[in-house]
Amino acid sequence: MTADENNIDMAGEHAGQLGRAETDIVVIGISMAALLLFVGTGGTVMSQIVRSWMGTGEKANSLLETAVLLNIALILFGWRRYHDLSIEVHERKAAEAKARELAETDPLTGLCNRRRMPIEMAKMIEGSQANGMAVAVLMLDLDNFKKINDLNGHEFGDLVLTSIADRLKAAMPSGALIARLGGDEFTCALPYNPSRPDRIDQLVGKIIDQVARPIAKGDVSVDVTVSIGIISSTDGGEDAAVGTSAFAGNLLNRADIAMYHAKKQGRNRSAWFEPRMESELRLRAELEAGIRRGIADGEFVPYYQQQINLKTGDLVGFEMLARWKSPDMGLISPDIFIPIAEDIGLIAELSEDLIRQALEDARTWDPKLVLSVNISPIQLRDPWFAQKLLRILVESGFPPNRLDIEITESCLHENIGAVRTVITSLKNQGIRISLDDFGTGYSSLHQLRSLPFDQIKIDRSFVAELMEEGANPKLVEAIVSIGRGLDMPITAEGIETEEVGDVLRQMGELRGQGFLYGRPENADVTHRRLADQHMLASDRMAEEAGAGEVRPTTPAKRRRKS
Ligand code: C2E
Ligand code: CA
Ligand code: CA
């Protein structure tokens, strides 16, 4: 039923009730008159009639007799109507109470709902303030509920929610408010002494423990964890009057921000609201908007870092590393914007744009140089990824065997079947595949052997250890020997000093990359470097043609800000 229909229906019912009320007044009026008449005259007339019926008195006036009978009938009729009416009123009251309850409680758990909570909270805050107390507001969100629901079905999901509601009721002191705001979100509010926040911490610790007890039905048992944001009514903000439901709404929003923070810190924990959380959130929103704008305005550009054959010192290729030239914030690192672009679903668009630019740049380089690009796990989830990449290669006229895709070990945990399909079709096109950050993601030797990698890259955290005083190279040696056993070339990342370069060189044939050989540089600087070393495509063409002088090529001019 639409809201309008509902209104019309209610209006109709209302009119009906009015009409009925008017007839009821008439009926009751007539009955009262009948009763008064009966009381006034019935006494003498009635006894006369009864005596006449029993044959002990003279016959009563038949008109009088009829009037009295009518009088009795009217009284009975009135009483009956009164009786019906009181039942009706009772039922209507019960229905109204039920409707109010439905509008204010969560039908699954019987807890307060999102609508009623701020109203009740406002009352609690007002009352506590009068007693010199504050109110602590907890915002709870289950960490893994969606997964539990997807794996075990909604019925089991409902059981989880009702069990959590019961545990909350048991854990909270009497008089506390508990609500389910929707989904797997609960909130509680309770008065506390603002000089004893440790009491709230204790309570929250107890809730976290209680929630963590397994929930079982039949042979299914699940472990649930919860993240909790906490705020005190003393931190409610200035834009609403204390004790109003708008103020309570502010507290709920801020408790939500603290809860979000607890999730980011690793879930299954709690965090008190701090004002900086709000500014972080604002910064995040600005970054999101900036990234959207920046993609459209061509603010993302490729930088290139040299990759060297450690034995010969020859340049073998470049790794493309993305940079954001933000007009407001300057040059921004990919560690900041890549995770956000992943979160907001823009990573594929951003990456494809960068790869297009990089292929254009790399076409002007010596054809023996390989271009490596980093690919996010999110992109590998796209079953069309290989096709999309091939299309970009064809459009750019870039040979697939000069492109190397770096995927991190963490990709292998996702959906190994799908990843294998994508990797295999990339390989079939002649594209090279490297396993990036090797050693950080616990991939099994079996996985390594079963996937057709061309190269592994030792994570720079292991290489960095070689720089420490009295460092033990055993770990790096072990990784190198794994690579060797699998017959895969190895690149060591993050080489910063000559000493580390020397240690690695002693381990055999390796490639290397790091500040020692060069920092990531933009397209123009890279191009000039290659020109100086006679390593441009034009140099190679000139060599092959045996000609002396050839016009130098420059990187293609395009809309970008490098
Ligand atoms: P990564 O793939 O591990 O890239 C190597 C990182 O190490 C780069 O950081 C590089 O600048 C830095 N580095 C290189 N040599 C040294 C050194 O000698 N010492 C130290 N301390 N660091 C060194 P950067 O450029 O900030 O990139 C960070 C990460 O961002 C990359 O790590 C990569 O995972 C990701 N990334 C960069 N560009 C892209 C991209 O286009 N797409 C995706 N999905 N990720 C990207
Ligand atoms: Ca990389
Ligand atoms: Ca790496």
**Cα gap 196→203, rounded to integer Å:** 12
Mutate to test the pocket of ligand 1, among 332, 409, 493, 526 (most ligand atoms within 8 A of CB): 493
DSSP 105: B
User: How remote is the CA of residue 209 from the centroid of ligand 1, in Å?
Assistant: 40
User: How remote is the CA of residue 241 from the centroid of ligand 3, in Å?
Assistant: 52
Indicate the angle between helix axes 347-362 and 523-532, nearest 10 degrees: 20
DSSP 21: H
* CA-to-CA separations, 398 to 359, 387, 388, 395, 503, in angstroms, rounded: 7, 15, 14, 8, 36
- Which residues does 405 contact at the CB level (< 8 Å), separation at least 6? 372, 373, 375, 389, 426, 431, 432, 433, 434
* CA-to-CA separations, 408 to 111, 324, 343, 442, in angstroms, rounded: 45, 22, 17, 11
b/e map 447-471, b = 16+ CB within 10 Å: bbeebebebbbbbbebbbebeeeee
Q: What is the pLDDT of residue 376?
A: 96
User: How remote is the CA of residue 407 from the centroid of ligand 3, in Å?
Assistant: 9
Token pair, residue 118, equals 């701020």
State the Cα torsion 155-159-160-164 to the nearest 10°: 150
Please state whether beta strands 432-438 and 403-408 pair in parallel, antiparallel, or not at all (unpaired).
parallel
The neighbouring-strand residues paired with 438 are: 458
φ/ψ of 301, rounded to 5, equals -135, 150
User: How remote is the CA of residue 375 from the centroid of ligand 2, in Å?
Assistant: 8
Residues with CB under 6 A from ligand 1: 305, 321-322, 333-335, 338, 351, 354, 374-376, 436-437, 460, 493-496, 513-515, 520
**Cα gap 442→281, rounded to integer Å:** 33
- Which residues does 1 contact at the CB level (< 8 Å), separation at least 6? 9
Residue having the nearest C-alpha atom to atom 45 of ligand 1 = 374
Closest CA to 562 of 533, 526, 522: 522
Evaluate whether 223 touches 212 at the Cβ level (below 8 Å): yes
Residue having the nearest C-alpha atom to atom 25 of ligand 1 = 321
**Cα gap 74→65, rounded to integer Å:** 14
Nearest atom, ligand 1, residue 495 CA: 18
Tokens 């290989």 belong to 386
Q: What is the DSSP string of 106-153?
A: -TTT--B-TTTHHHHHHHHHHHHHHTT-EEEEEEEEESSHHHHHHHH-
Tokens 């009068």 belong to 130
User: How remote is the CA of residue 493 from the centroid of ligand 1, in Å?
Assistant: 9
φ/ψ of 431, rounded to 5, equals -75, 145
Token pair, residue 222, equals 């699940």
User: How remote is the CA of residue 436 from the centroid of ligand 2, in Å?
Assistant: 6
pLDDT tens column, 490-539? 999 999 999 999 999 999 899 999 999 999 999 999 999 999 999 999 99
Phi-psi region for residue 60, left (φ > 0), alpha (ψ -120 to 50) or beta?
A: beta
- DSSP E strand stretches across 506-560: 511-512, 521-522
Closest CA to 247 of 106, 173, 137, 139: 137
Q: What is the pLDDT of residue 292?
A: 97
Amino acid code (one letter) for 171: A
CB atoms within 10 A of CB 429: 15
- The separation between CA 251 and the C-alpha centre of its own chain, rounded to angstroms, equals 20
Token pair, residue 208, equals 């976290």
Of all ligands present, the nearest one to the C-alpha of 305 is 1
Residue having the nearest C-alpha atom to atom 22 of ligand 1 = 494
Q: Is the dihedral of CA 144, 147, 151, 156 positive or negative?
A: positive
* CA-to-CA separations, 349 to 197, 267, 318, 338, 354, in angstroms, rounded: 47, 30, 22, 12, 9
pLDDT tens column, 317-334? 999 999 999 999 999 999
Q: What is the pLDDT of residue 448?
A: 80
Of all ligands present, the nearest one to the C-alpha of 358 is 1
- The separation between CA 308 and the C-alpha centre of its own chain, rounded to angstroms, equals 42
Mutate to test the pocket of ligand 1, among 336, 374, 379, 513 (most ligand atoms within 8 A of CB): 374
Of all ligands present, the nearest one to the C-alpha of 501 is 1
Neighbours of ion ligand 3 (CB under 5 A): 436-437
pLDDT tens, the chain, 562 aa long? 444 444 444 444 554 555 566 666 777 777 777 777 777 776 677 777 778 778 887 777 788 778 878 888 888 888 888 888 889 999 999 999 888 888 899 999 999 999 999 999 999 999 999 999 999 999 999 999 999 999 999 999 999 999 999 999 999 999 999 999 999 999 999 999 999 999 999 999 999 999 999 999 999 999 999 999 999 999 987 778 888 999 999 999 999 999 999 999 999 999 999 999 999 999 999 999 999 999 999 999 999 999 999 999 999 999 999 999 999 999 999 999 999 999 999 999 999 999 999 999 999 999 999 999 999 999 999 999 999 999 999 999 999 999 999 998 888 877 788 888 999 999 999 999 999 988 887 777 777 888 889 999 999 999 998 888 777 888 899 989 988 888 899 999 999 999 999 999 999 899 999 999 999 999 999 999 999 999 999 998 888 887 555 555 566 556 555 5
**Cα gap 405→419, rounded to integer Å:** 13
Angle at 34 between CA 28 and CA 35, to 5 degrees: 90
Q: What is the pLDDT of residue 194?
A: 96
Token pair, residue 161, equals 């929610």
- DSSP E strand stretches across 338-496: 370-375, 403-408, 432-438, 455-458, 490-492
Closest CA to 138 of 294, 309, 252, 10: 252
Q: What is the pLDDT of residue 560?
A: 59
Nearest atom, ligand 1, residue 334 CA: 30
**Cα gap 133→189, rounded to integer Å:** 13
**Cα gap 324→315, rounded to integer Å:** 26
Closest CA to 558 of 398, 279, 374, 364: 364
Evaluate whether 326 touches 298 at the Cβ level (below 8 Å): no
Q: What is the pLDDT of residue 2?
A: 41
User: How remote is the CA of residue 73 from the centroid of ligand 2, in Å?
Assistant: 98
Evaluate whether 305 touches 520 at the Cβ level (below 8 Å): yes
Q: What is the pLDDT of residue 9?
A: 44
The neighbouring-strand residues paired with 315 are: 308
The neighbouring-strand residues paired with 222 are: 215
Residue having the nearest C-alpha atom to atom 33 of ligand 1 = 374
**Cα gap 21→25, rounded to integer Å:** 6
Residue having the nearest C-alpha atom to atom 21 of ligand 1 = 494
User: How remote is the CA of residue 74 from the centroid of ligand 1, in Å?
Assistant: 96
Cβ-count burial of 55 within 10 angstroms (0-12 exposed, 13-18 middle, 19+ buried)? Answer: exposed
Evaluate whether 64 touches 42 at the Cβ level (below 8 Å): no
User: How remote is the CA of residue 301 from the centroid of ligand 3, in Å?
Assistant: 19
pLDDT tens column, 173-223? 999 999 999 999 999 999 999 999 999 999 999 999 999 999 999 999 999
Evaluate whether 140 touches 185 at the Cβ level (below 8 Å): yes
Closest CA to 239 of 248, 226, 228: 248
